[in-house]
Amino acid sequence: MINELLFMNGYAVYVLSAFSFTLLSFLSLYLVTKIQFVREQNKFVTKFGSLSVEQANFAKSQRINKEILASATNN
């Protein structure tokens, strides 16, 4: 019974290779996205990390920033 499950009537190579390819694709997509996110986050912190209080308040008062902050707090 175990052999039947492992060999899957001759389709085991196809099924396991497709599963492995899918898992590898998802893992690589996750890693690429994570790396890009960290890079963009570092760019943001470098550019906007040292805002004065006045600059931060001005940025919060802009319409597009209000939309971004509102959607970020809703999630």
User: Are 74 and 68 within 8 A, CB to CB?
Assistant: no
pLDDT confidence bin for 75, thresholds 50/70/90: low
How far lies 58's CA from each of 11, 48, 63, 71, in Å?
63, 13, 10, 19
If you search the block for the tokens 């001759």, which residue do you land on? 10
pTM: 0.58
Q: What is the pLDDT of residue 30?
A: 97
Q: Under a CB-based contact definition with an 8 Å cutoff, are residues 33 and 25 in contact?
A: no
How do the domains of the chain map onto residue ranges? Answer: 2-74
Q: Rounded to 10 degrees, what is the CA torsion of 43, 47, 50, 52?
A: -140
pLDDT top residue among 24 and 70: 24
For the stretch 4-52, pLDDT in tens is 877 888 888 899 999 999 999 999 999 999 999 999 988 888 877 777 7
Instruction: Output the pLDDT for position 9.
Output: 84
